Structure 1
């Protein structure tokens, strides 16, 4: 409007200067009517009429736009109130004030420009209060408010189910999301977590190639998961009976997993149950030479080999490098017992206890002393072992033989 008035003024000045010496003349006729006058007056009249008409049109336009402007103003005000309530609700949520948080989050949720956020936050609040029905209702409202965000809502829903230990419901949600987005990193990660919690190893075996290909888990997490899966497969194969299924699982492992002490120990223990002690002795020996592990040397000392002295010689070779290793000393004591070398067994078991007391060493030594007819010393060992632990494996030495024979062998063993 101001620009138009300025244009009229400038035009008037220009016209005045132009017509200062010659006003000009105009004649307008219509039927029997005629109008005449100076050209300057005519031009000024036209400009004034134009300005008046323009102002009238603009005024009517603004007047007609008042309802829409009022609606926009009210809408913006509602959005501002909704954002303010959302902010207050999130602050209350962070502070752990659940009731205030739920109240603020829902106060203007319907007027919010992003109601999904309000409802998802409200679902978290309901979860913290143990209100499962309200939680599920808010999740449903969040999905209805933005159906295109099915994945985001589903992830929050699965997360809340997991936190509430509702693994079956979480699995159903995550399977649905996996069908929608088979390569989504967070979906895969949460699905692997839930399957581990449910110990659904068969499903994890199927999921593992995808986890590896998509690099969903960190290398350490993926390795730990692979170990757990192989433990399941080995136990499953052992349940079928025979050494064939076990061998099949073992041979299909990667070389890295075949060097993993837990898997080596489990495979050896299961194969020993099928009577393959000699083959497992070689596996344990090679594994121990590559990477020392207390669990494997303990198993090595418990092997029911027909040649215990051969195993004892090998273990004594390791002793040169690890003279104060309690697990190795215990294994040496057990192997000496199997070889009927009572004196050497006693020396190793006492050395083991001297380095690190353990219930197993006390039980083995107690059984040996009982066989050597030293009841007081045997009782002291048993009592000390019970003090350290009230449970454990039975001693390797089963005193089914005549004690007199052990006594006769005492001198020979002591010399060894």
Structure 2
């Protein structure tokens, strides 16, 4: 059976019937490092929940005990088990710091062809023949989005962070802010479908962990293992899409030549190279592409690609730990940046700026960066999303705020619906 938009929509709702499910969708973006168009995992035969202490060792033990496919999430606050850090900001969502499950059912699309990887042979036909109830209502009209900090406070905090940069405490820091809604009654699967329509991205994802939902339109890969190769593709550099193709050409050229954006990108590329070195065979770390300009529905992004060969003595899960959290969401130096993030941000990040993805039976994996994402706790009717940007000595606080709002635009449009 060929993959179609109709089947994808039906399969999303079929998977959403289970307490645990995960959808990973490339939206047909060309990706020389990827393998699957779509992965849909539903049901859980085995589960792992872990807090930050010993999380990666727990994941290694879980994978050894249950070899096969695993799907799940790595929360940003796992940093506290890697470095001497802590998280004390308010957490209204209650997402697990680490959660992985082995699926009861798994559907795979590769090169546009669907197959059942785990489950009965007739599963595709069963899903394809189901009738969906007509439920277009993805968010209640009274959803009231609020900012955790107003524009003036945000700008003041950026000015203070620039003072830290001028003192040499950090060179760059990714500073984020939360937007939220209380008493938000949404249909998570339909909201995700609309988000994915408004903002199709190569690392889109939907995750349901009982009453916790992650609706993700991420354009960024955190880390991929393909055989013995590790690939990381950090994003640093953003520009708004133009109104037409001719304007887009100009904007892309301006982004590619923007010294500030290049400087941000170089800092993170150097950080990622250093992180990968901890898992690499000697002299194997290389920059495959730097300052690549890629276009998405709302933005153009500057993306670099760094790779290495995994050292045979390093467990692949340790390779994840050695690069986590991703440098594009922290800053440089990494630990100092994370300390300032904790001091200046007003919400805990939790699942946001963590990673979501799969581990295969062969020990390959692919994880995105959880950005451009809604997080929803249905038990609390609490909806949240965060956006951020890279703060450097050259940044203009007002422009950084505008960049945050640009990154939030697809989510706001999805929640509020056509105006």
Same fold (TM over 0.5): no
Q: Which has the higher contact order (CA 8 A, sep 6+)?
A: 2
TM-score when normalising by structure 2? 0.16
TM-score when normalising by structure 1? 0.16
Greater share of residues in strand: 2
Greater share of residues in helix: 1
The structure with the largest alpha-carbon Rg is 1
